[in-house]
Amino acid sequence: MKIKSLLIYLVFLLSCDSSSDFSFGGNVSGDVQMSGESSGTGIGGSMARFTIKGDYLYTVDSYDLKTFDIKDKVNPMITSEVNLGWGIETIFPYGENLFIGAQSGMHIYGLENEEEPKYISSYEHVTSCDPVVVQDNYAYVTLRGGSECMGFNNQLDIVDISNLNNPRLFKTYEMINPHGLGVDGNCLFISEGEYGIKMYDKTDLDDLRLIKHFDDIGSLDVIPFQGVLMVIGSDGFHQYNYDCENAEMSYISTIPIERM
């Protein structure tokens, strides 16, 4: 009897401990495939130019990829500076690689040596603005046209990266005005600027299925995490519950933007 109650107490203790980090209710759907795999590292959106992988902070500006050693977190030390060409926009770490969104395409850099990322290959496309996220053997790249992006295409390119040395276009889907994006499990979220936020079921990459389209908000970038989609848009910060297994998405809350 005593042992039994002790066991129950132990189980209770353990369950409290594991849930203390995040107080999100609801289900934990699928594996979280955002930048920041380890619990201590924060998660950025797809438009990020700063990202942390392990003990290194990687930053991109319009030309350069810089690596900072942050083993001593208070005293970062720059370890390398790599020229990336032109029109560099975003950086996304996945596995042992960095995926860099540029106006000319997507560049892949290897982290065999974490202190000095090494160029592996590029996926070239028409000039446009293009954040990138990655899951398993595929990279998801949105291409957006417009004056500041110097292009005309508005689309999602799914790129097969199973051979990192030779990224190949798998399929293109037309979009309206795509900005940031996110993947989690079978869910793919696309920010459509002033045209709202979309949730796709990407179980079959040959046939993406649009589950939801909330067109009443502005959406520039997203972070999907443990069933909660955090959306930043021109009109505010919005949150939605999502469930990839049951193909559901519902509105939770907003912090509106105050125009000056």
Partner 1 sequence: MNVNKNMTPRYIFFSFIILFFSCQDKCNEYTTYVNSTPVYSNMESLRDSVYYDDERDINSPGKLNYKSGYLFISETGKGIHVIDNRVVSNPKKLGFINIPGNYDIATKDDYLYADSYIDLVIFDISDINSIKEVNRIKGSFQNYYENRMLFSENLGIVTGYNEEVIEEFIESKDCELVF
Binding site for partner 1 (CB under 8 A): 21-24, 40-45, 47-52, 57, 59, 61-64, 66, 68, 70, 73-76, 78, 220-221, 223, 225, 228, 230, 232-234, 236-237, 239, 252-253, 255-260
Nearer to partner 1, 47 or 133 (CB): 47
Please, which residue, 26 or 163, has the CB nearer to partner 1?
Answer: 26
Residue found by looking up tokens 């902070």 in the block = 57
Q: In this complex, which beta carbon is closest to partner 1, that of residue 17 or of residue 258?
A: 258
Least gap, CB of 104 to partner 1 (angstroms): 18
Amino acid present at 56: Y
- Shortest Å distance, C-beta 34 to partner 1: 9
CB of 184 to partner 1, least distance (A): 13
For residues 125, 126, 129, 135, the Cα torsion angle rounded to the nearest 10 degrees is: -20
Residue among 38, 150, 154 at smallest CA distance from 89: 150
Nearer to partner 1, 62 or 166 (CB): 62
Q: How far is the CB of 122 from partner 1 (least distance, A)?
A: 22
CB of 74 to partner 1, least distance (A): 5
| Residue 68 or 195 having the CB closest to partner 1 | 68
Closest separation in Å from C-beta 44 to partner 1: 5
Q: What's the burial of 259, exposed, middle or buried (CB within 10 Å: 0-12/13-18/19+)?
A: exposed
In whole angstroms, the minimum distance from the beta carbon of 193 to partner 1 comes to 14
**C-alpha to C-alpha distance for 234 and 198, rounded to whole angstroms:** 16
DSSP 55-105: TEEEEE-SSEEEEEE-SSTTS-EEEEEEE--S-EEEEEEETTEEEEEETTE
In terms of CB distance, is 161 or 183 closer to partner 1? Answer: 183
Query: Cα(first)–Cα(last) distance of the chain, in Å?
Result: 66
Backbone angles phi, psi at 133, to 5 degrees: -130, 160
Please list, residue by residue across 64-86, b when 16 or more beta carbons sit within 10 angstroms of its beta carbon and e when fewer do: ebbbbbeeeeeeeeeebebebee
CA–CA separation, 248 vs 242, rounded Å? 6
Q: Would you call 249 exposed, middle or buried from its count of C-beta atoms within 10 A (0-12, 13-18, 19+)?
A: buried
Nearest-angstrom CA–CA distance, 122 and 157: 14
Residue 167 or 180 with smaller CB distance to partner 1: 180
